[in-house]
A = this chain, B = another copy of it.
């Protein structure tokens, strides 16, 4: 399941509850659009801000709404004991895979992170995707650590941060990692602005924030690259540049939250406080960008 386009939906909420019907509608919309998989409770799905009970419920809703589209569930937590419980809940909910980031409060050592994956994979019956996201976890993987972890059972994919924007450098990055991990483990690019470059450089999958709200242009980009039409993939990404620019300025989460509001997929506000949605001026720029890229 770790190939093609994996779309990461928001988990819309207010201070007292999750908007379950909006979430289910968003997941169904992604499945209907034909994405290859759905990554619920990723960073964009605000997993880190929810209780175990809330996460169990969201996992159940995601699997129910996704139909035959496989669902990956984020199981990251600061404490290993809690990750194990979340893994059990995700599997009981019918997750086809789990996604695990080494969340940190105290800085983690490489051995501690290896130990986390070793403990969790020992008990898994579904494959796991390593979530390498230093921007939120403040842990930086080395390729050597990826190599050690991918020797564990059940590791199916690595979700890497954005690749270098130079195509040759990107290919160097992907090939270097690929040479150090088993051939059964796929490499997925995130950092949407570098997705076309990553896919063209040989990444197997795009773990996409934007696809959670705008699956169609992301599918077109992914399919072009899968068909070896790199030029079209690059052109489709360049067309989305006004969106990437907003991602760089405000962070992708706040921007897709505003896009989802603009598309009336969710109510406002929909992020967990203390996070705030975009201010009015930035919201206008989001609307302008959407009209500019002609995606509506």
Contacts and interface: CB of A to CB of B under 8 A. Distances in A.
Contact of A275 (B103, B106, B274, B275): B106
Interface in A53-103: 78-81, 102-103
B274 A108 contact: yes
Contacts of A259: none
Interface in A1-45: 15-16, 43
Q: Give the size range of A's interface with the partner.
A: 20 to 34
A124 to B, nearest CB: 16
Given A79-B272, A107-B251, 11 more contacts: A16-B81, A43-B105, A48-B78, A49-B78, A78-B272, A79-B273, A81-B272, A103-B105, A106-B275, A112-B274, A115-B273
A102 to B, nearest CB: 7
Interface of A: 15-16, 43, 48-49, 78-81, 102-103, 105-109, 111-113, 115-116, 119, 135-136, 138, 251, 253, 272-276
Copies in the complex: 2
Given A49-B78, A79-B49, A80-B15, A105 B136 contact: yes
Contacts of A272: 78-81
A49 B274 contact: no
Contacts of A49: 78-79, 105
Nearest to A271: B106
A274 B15 contact: no
A125 B138 CA distance: 35
A48 B77 CA distance: 10
